[in-house]
Amino acid sequence: MKYERIEKAVFMERPNRFIAYAVINGKKETIHVKNTGRCAELLIPGAAIYVQKSGNPARKTKWDLIAVEKGERLINMDSQIPNQVVKEWIEKGNFAPDVTLIRPETVYGSSRFDLYVEAGERKIFIEVKGVTLEEGGVCRFPDAPSDRAVKHLEELIRARKEGYETYVFFVIQMKGVRYFTPNTDTHPAFAETLSRAAAAGVKILAYDCAVETDSIAIADPVEVVLGSPRLKEAAQPLVKWFRENKRDLPWRKRMNAYRVWISEIMLQQTRVEAVKPYYERFLKELPDVESLAEVSEERLLKLWEGLGYYSRARNLKKAAQQIMDEYGGRFPESYDAIHSLKGIGNYTAGAISSFVYNIPKPAVDGNVLRVVTRLLADPEDITKAAVKKKIEGLIEEIIPREAAGDFNQSLIELGAIVCLPNGEPKCGECPVRHLCLAFEQGTQREYPVRRKAAPRRIEERTVFVFCDSRAAAIQKRPDRGLLAGMYEFPSVKGHMSQDEAVEYGKSLGLVPVRIRSLGNAKHIFSHVEWHMTGYEILVDELEKSLPGNVIFAGRDELEEKYPMPSAFEPYLRAAGLEKRNAGGKTAPYPEQ
């Protein structure tokens, strides 16, 4: 769009929304301001402006305000031009190649949309919004509350439901901005309705413009941030911080999908330090998908012994088999294909896709939930799936395309080493402290908000280490349920006294030679706690006596062959059958 009869002028003042005074060619003139928005940050006394002389000599106000200089930037503020430049842009084939109709100002319901377009079978309504408000490269709309704009959005949602394609087209009337976001300061209802419109299928576009003193044309797409500009601002400082401060962890070396996958599954519910030795041992024995697909379940559980949540290990093997069968042994490289693997949910799929393939998908774990709810002072309950989904959406919108993996890892890393749980964040070391709402309010300890978990069921058990000089009795747990397929010492419900324990041994046909209390121990699973008391019962001939599925395992076999959950570790130790897991210490986290 080209303007004629443009003159440079100096802005003086704006006595009302419709007119202003300016010095043009050394003379004070009245100029017409088409843009009735506030524009307070633009129309500053002394600002260089560009005005157009009217082609109609009879007009009372001879000049129209067209553009203004703001620092280095030239901003077009002609509120009638956005519709025209979008129309020109569509006419040039930029919107669709097969446009057959462009009709301005088309009535729909009680609204009048800026453009109605037909392209092939498509029937399209486009509402155009000119944007002149810019601060630090961020453009926002509206610059003053606009109930009319909200009404237009509601009508677009309705049109969408009735089968039309619908667009809101934000024309950024300047060049070189960072992103566009709705203005929640001036009109939160507009921002809320815009998000609702996007969710309902109304497409949101933003384009900047090539602006000259006497012309304007649509130029390039501009990123739209509907969710959280605060998170958007945090992205670059977090990536920079991560690159400079990341810990040296085994799975960050020679990173590939298999290594990330194994580490991420191990790290669920288990601390980094506890995982390291397991990871090294696992990778040494099962270095690739193929070896994992072929390992026996018993060996797999042995490698996993002490990490807990044993279904994770079983799912690893199933997924490895899936990769062998469906992908010829090659780890899939798309988010959806990775997500379709057994045992892989949003978090792990996002982690593998972004860390390894730089796919901009979120990886939201407990660390990320903590960091984000603190940054945003978000009071919603993070145990709700909808809240996690919302946070995934906020992150997905702002993941830097060129640094998706480092960004996801930066949030996880910040949560792990700086934004610590239990009210102990090290805000002094935080690279996004200046953006953190909880820090600003001094409310870091109030986030994340978590609904109180239901209390765990307490189960009392008496554990028996029946042994003779060579072996101890163990049995395999059922194939389904808690600790499925693992091995355990025989046990019964309830706490028995020493005499009762002796009687129980006799009732099994054993001849107890000596009994020794092994003390009490507690093991916490996610929904149940075992409160155990244990006895070592030395018998004369173990193998001849015990019936059923009992196995007699020597110390070496306990150490090397049979996977036993760490719940029984205190009794292995107390009975002198101590075995060491890969880390040389009891895994400190609950198992299920």
Contacts of 245 (CB under 8 A, 6+ apart): 413, 417
Segment near ligand SF4 (CB under 6 A), from 36-44, 382-390, 432-440, 502-510?
Answer: 432-440
- Please say which residue, 23 or 377, places its beta carbon nearer to ligand SF4: 377
- Please say which residue, 222 or 371, places its beta carbon nearer to ligand SF4: 371
Using CB under 6 A, which residues numbered 473 to 512 contact ligand SF4?
Answer: none
Rounded CA separation 109/127 (Å): 14
The nearest distance, CB 252 to ligand SF4, in angstroms, is 22
Q: Is 433 among the residues that bind ligand SF4 (CB under 6 A)?
A: yes
Burial string for 16-46 (b: 16+ CB within 10 Å, else e) reads: eeeebbbebeeeebebbbebebbbeebbeee
- Read off the DSSP letter of residue 215: E
Q: Is 231 among the residues that bind ligand SF4 (CB under 6 A)?
A: no
Token pair, residue 332, equals: 């899939």
The nearest distance, CB 348 to ligand SF4, in angstroms, is 24
Residue from 216, 430, 508, 542 binding ligand SF4 (CB under 6 A): 430
Q: Which of 264, 397, 413, 569 is catalytic?
A: 264
CA torsion angle 97 99 103 105 (round to 10): -50
- Please say which residue, 233 or 569, places its beta carbon nearer to ligand SF4: 233
The nearest distance, CB 350 to ligand SF4, in angstroms, is 20
Residue from 174, 260, 307, 419 binding ligand SF4 (CB under 6 A): 419
Nearest to 362 by CA among 454, 4, 372: 372
SS3 content of the chain, % helix, strand, coil (to 5): 35, 25, 35
Contacts of 548 (CB under 8 A, 6+ apart): 475
CA torsion angle 91 196 194 163 (round to 10): 20
Contacts of 382 (CB under 8 A, 6+ apart): 369, 373, 388, 391, 448, 449, 450
- Please say which residue, 46 or 423, places its beta carbon nearer to ligand SF4: 423
Residue from 425, 448, 565, 590 binding ligand SF4 (CB under 6 A): 425
Q: Is 432 among the residues that bind ligand SF4 (CB under 6 A)?
A: yes
Rounded CA separation 203/333 (Å): 28
Other beta carbons within 10 Å of 423 = 9
Using CB under 6 A, which residues numbered 371 to 410 contact ligand SF4?
Answer: 371, 374-375
Q: Is 239 among the residues that bind ligand SF4 (CB under 6 A)?
A: no
The nearest distance, CB 431 to ligand SF4, in angstroms, is 8
The nearest distance, CB 286 to ligand SF4, in angstroms, is 37
Torsions phi, psi of 472, nearest 5? -125, 155
Segment near ligand SF4 (CB under 6 A), from 185-193, 424-432, 449-457, 547-555?
Answer: 424-432
The nearest distance, CB 275 to ligand SF4, in angstroms, is 23
- Please say which residue, 129 or 374, places its beta carbon nearer to ligand SF4: 374
Segment near ligand SF4 (CB under 6 A), from 355-363, 433-441, 493-501, 507-515?
Answer: 433-441
Element at 125 (helix H, strand E): strand 122-131
Q: Is 427 among the residues that bind ligand SF4 (CB under 6 A)?
A: yes
- Please say which residue, 126 or 419, places its beta carbon nearer to ligand SF4: 419
Q: Is 349 among the residues that bind ligand SF4 (CB under 6 A)?
A: no
Element at 323 (helix H, strand E): helix 310-327
Q: Is 436 among the residues that bind ligand SF4 (CB under 6 A)?
A: yes
- Please say which residue, 362 or 505, places its beta carbon nearer to ligand SF4: 362
Cis peptide before 142 (omega within 30 of 0): yes
- Asked if 257 and 356 touch (Cβ cutoff 8 Å), the reply is yes
Q: Is 235 among the residues that bind ligand SF4 (CB under 6 A)?
A: no
Q: Is 48 among the residues that bind ligand SF4 (CB under 6 A)?
A: no
Site string for ligand SF4, 437-456 (x = CB under 6 A): -xx----x------------
**264 catalytic residue (yes or no):** yes
- Please say which residue, 416 or 538, places its beta carbon nearer to ligand SF4: 416
Segment near ligand SF4 (CB under 6 A), from 153-161, 304-312, 325-333, 431-439?
Answer: 431-439
Segment near ligand SF4 (CB under 6 A), from 156-164, 368-376, 465-473, 553-561?
Answer: 368-376
The nearest distance, CB 413 to ligand SF4, in angstroms, is 12
- Asked if 464 and 505 touch (Cβ cutoff 8 Å), the reply is yes
Element at 127 (helix H, strand E): strand 122-131
- Asked if 141 and 183 touch (Cβ cutoff 8 Å), the reply is yes
- Asked if 445 and 373 touch (Cβ cutoff 8 Å), the reply is no
Any idea which residues carry the catalytic annotation? 264
Tell me which residues touch ligand SF4 (CB under 6 A).
371, 374-375, 418-419, 425, 427, 430, 432-433, 436, 438-439, 444
